[in-house]
Amino acid sequence: MNDCRYRIATIPGDGIGVDVTAAAVAVLDTVLPGIEWTEFDWSCANYLRTGQMMPPDGPELLAGFDAILLGAVGFPGVPDHVSLWGLLIPLRRAFSQYVNLRPVRLLPGTESALRDRTAADLDILIVRENSEGEYSEIGGKHNPGRYDEFVLQESVFTRVGCERIIRYAFERARERGGRLCSATKSNGLIHSMPYWDSVFDQIAVEYPDVRTRQMHVDALAAEIVLHPDRLDVIVGSNLFGDILSDLAAAVTGGLGLAPSGNINPEGACPSMFEAVHGSAPDIAGQGIADPVAQILAGAMLLDHLGEHAAAAAVDRAVCDVLGAGQVRTPDLGGTATTTELATAIASRAAELVDAVSAEPR
């Protein structure tokens, strides 16, 4: 087993984010001893105490870490746009995490919301642009309180931003099944989406081995429900990728099973990994939250750091434990606690990584 040490920051956040982050840390420690963890109490609770989600020098405090494991953020009394723009989005942009990578698949022992669909039908990688697009600060409210009050919300699509995310998606498609679908809406958004489409077409010439499709986002949403087996890698803008990945995760068994990574592909800054699900404050602290999504986010983190054997052991352990069907949290129809499910996964992951280490080289 690799003896390298890594410095990883955790931001447990709010609600069940605290519960599942602790579970994921325990699993990662099992397969890769020697990680140095540093916890930052940046959350909605911190906002209610101090008026800020994180301190102004938050990015500087995190810059020296190898990676970040983020829990769910959100709590009643703090508007979502405050929590999002006070923590997650500033970190994504400070560290140029322009790729939001969201693998969605039907895990063993779980059921799809779609009738008669199997794991072979539901294995999609969504590549979402994570730094610009529709999630822009450009705009504002005008004539507030008057009858002619209005707001403007601008989108930003740069050539650099479009090229790098689309090229990243082509590379992932080339590694997988050789199929890439681009989410567009060029029939309604007259400037941004035709531009996105033109960049996609230009880059597609460089990848003649990848089969491409371009679908309007509404039709693509229907495709995920009706014909998910026709999809492999999807690339979309910030808004489209966000919506489609949640839909796909719901189709493949629920947000409680879906991980994601905010990736800086060049490795110049730390990347950040998180579950797709929210903070679920109604069940926080009860010990019943499903830790699978956060554990799989941890596996993505390990893989990103180059610890491929440890990452594969965690991923396989999740599949084995869920497939056995004996240890499940209430959302999966069982009675296990968060800790019991995480312990079962950690135990199986330890067996798997030890077996890999014992193999002759």
- Label the pairing between strands 36-39 and 123-129: unpaired
Neighbours of 94 (CB within 10 A): 15
Q: Can 135 be counted among the known catalytic residues?
A: yes
Q: Can 185 be counted among the known catalytic residues?
A: yes
Q: Can 242 be counted among the known catalytic residues?
A: yes
**Marked catalytic residue, from 29, 229, 246, 320:** 246
Q: Can 246 be counted among the known catalytic residues?
A: yes
- What residues contact 10, with CB distance under 8 A and at least 6 apart? 21, 25, 37, 38, 39, 40, 68, 69, 70, 71
**Marked catalytic residue, from 66, 135, 232, 303:** 135
DSSP code per residue over 212-278: EEEEEHHHHHHHHHH-GGG-SEEEE-HHHHHHHHHHHHHHTT-GGG-EEEEE-TTSSS-EEEEESS-
The single residue listed with the structure tokens 């798997």 is 352
The single residue listed with the structure tokens 């099973």 is 257
**Marked catalytic residue, from 242, 290, 303, 331:** 242
**Marked catalytic residue, from 185, 290, 315, 331:** 185
Cα–Cα–Cα angle for 218, 223, 224, rounded to 5 degrees: 100
Active-site annotation, residues: 135, 185, 218, 242, 246
